[in-house]
């Protein structure tokens, strides 16, 4: 049996408000082995980024991790050094990998190319303020790829990219990070479909998981179905609030199939291919 690169169990991540507390993430657990890819998908506020931050050690310590984590943030521009040229920022990381001076420029150009910046010579001598948001994101990806990462966590890495660049990046991600287990945090089903497995989150809770091919082809949970229904090609269906009241199910207020038993404990179901938490 392969040893996981990451074994994660969130427990509860709680935000302290003035007079109350709010659970942001509840008992999400998964593991990732070498070469595997996992998408965490859900709407804004579903707990995806909070999960990533807790893996990075910025939140409570319920994580068993090996070294070599690389994190691609949502807004690459914020993480670039404004006073250094693109090629110098790439070179700094390549040097740490032991790549000699004369080979660094070639390696930097290759990383930019795989990140979708073509021709790379047009970007090497630029400062971050001379880049568009999408270009800065791609430079951040290229810098992240100058590593021997065992685990890549990419938080909405395709934000700001046009569809063609996005597809190219998703196809090249395994070339940029050949040895890494990859975790993609996204609200974008087309990005999540590129991963072998998917974990669907809603309101900080686990909703459905399985191979992405099966989960997106035959979703079992009403929330996963709603995510699919919100795609442009499926009519961008909204899920308005339909009822008041609370339930252990985070989709209860918007679910068209809700019934009385949804107010009790929600069972975990499986058909051998995927798992989901719902009374249906
Ligand atoms: S548990 Fe009930 S409310 Fe929640 S998704 Fe399933 S049917 Fe809908």
Same domain? For 50 and 140 the reply is yes
Cis peptide before 173 (omega within 30 of 0): no
Question: Residue 240 domain-assigned?
Answer: yes
What value does the mean pLDDT of the chain take? 86
Same domain? For 191 and 114 the reply is yes
Mean pLDDT of 154-158: 84
What's the pLDDT tens digit per position in 185-207? Answer: 998 888 899 899 999 999 999 99
Q: Measuring from atom 1 of ligand 1, which residue has the nearest CA?
A: 278
Same domain? For 76 and 192 the reply is yes
Mean pLDDT of 78-101: 90
In 28-125, at which residue ranges do the beta strands (DSSP E only) sit? 29-32, 37-41, 63-65, 69-72
Cα 249 to averaged position of ligand 1 atoms, centre (Å) = 6
Mean pLDDT of 92-109: 90
Binding pocket residue ranges, ligand 1, CB within 6 Å = 222, 249, 251-252, 255, 257-258, 262, 266, 278-280
Same domain? For 93 and 27 the reply is yes
| Index of the ligand 1 atom closest to the CA of residue 256 | 8
Question: Residue 237 domain-assigned?
Answer: yes
Same domain? For 186 and 47 the reply is yes
Number of domains in the chain: 2
Cα 68 to averaged position of ligand 1 atoms, centre (Å) = 39
The answer on pLDDT for 63 being more than 50 is no
CA distance 106 to 174: 20
| Domain coverage including residue 239 | 219-277
CA distance 159 to 130: 19
From 206, 221, 266, 268, give the residue whose CB has the most ligand 1 atoms within 8 Å, as the site to mutate: 266
Same domain? For 48 and 169 the reply is yes
Q: Looking at per-residue confidence, does 130 or 171 come out higher?
A: 130
Supply the pTM of this predicted model: 0.86
Same domain? For 166 and 82 the reply is yes
What confidence score (pLDDT) does residue 66 get?
A: 64
What confidence score (pLDDT) does residue 77 get?
A: 80
DSSP structure string for 143-182 = HHTSS--SEEEEESTTTT--HHHHHHHHHHHHHHSTT-EE
Residue 218 DSSP SS3: coil
Question: Residue 157 domain-assigned?
Answer: yes
Same domain? For 87 and 25 the reply is yes
Cα 125 to averaged position of ligand 1 atoms, centre (Å) = 54
């Amino acid at each position: 049996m392969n040893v996981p690169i990451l074994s994660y169990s969130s427990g509860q991540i709680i935000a302290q408000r003035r007079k109350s507390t709010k659970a942001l993430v509840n008992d999400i657990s998964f593991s990732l082995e070498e070469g595997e890819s996992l998408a965490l998908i859900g709407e804004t506020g579903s707990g995806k980024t909070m999960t990533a931050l807790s893996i990075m050690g910025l939140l409570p310590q319920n994580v068993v991790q090996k070294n070599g984590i690389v994190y691609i943030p949502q807004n690459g521009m914020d993480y670039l050094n404004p006073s250094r040229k693109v090629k110098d920022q790439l070179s700094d990381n390549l040097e740490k990998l032991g790549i000699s001076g004369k080979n660094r420029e070639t390696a930097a150009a290759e990383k930019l190319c795989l990140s979708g910046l073509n021709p790379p010579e047009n970007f090497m001598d630029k400062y971050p303020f001379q880049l568009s948001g999408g270009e800065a994101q791609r430079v951040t990806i290229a810098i992240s790829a100058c590593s021997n990462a065992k685990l890549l966590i990419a938080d909405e890495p395709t934000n700001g990219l046009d569809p063609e660049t996005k597809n190219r990046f998703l196809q090249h991600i395994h070339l940029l990070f050949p040895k890494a287990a990859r975790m993609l945090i996204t609200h974008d089903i087309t990005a999540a479909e590129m991963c072998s497995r998917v974990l669907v989150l809603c309101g900080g809770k686990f909703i459905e998981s399985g191979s992405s091919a099966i989960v997106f082809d035959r979703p079992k949970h009403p929330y996963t179905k709603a995510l699919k229904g919100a795609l442009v090609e499926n009519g961008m269906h909204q899920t308005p609030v339909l009822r008041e009241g609370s339930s252990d199910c985070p989709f209860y207020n918007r679910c068209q199939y809700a019934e009385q038993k949804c107010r009790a404990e929600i069972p975990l179901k499986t058909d051998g291919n995927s798992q989901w938490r719902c009374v249906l």
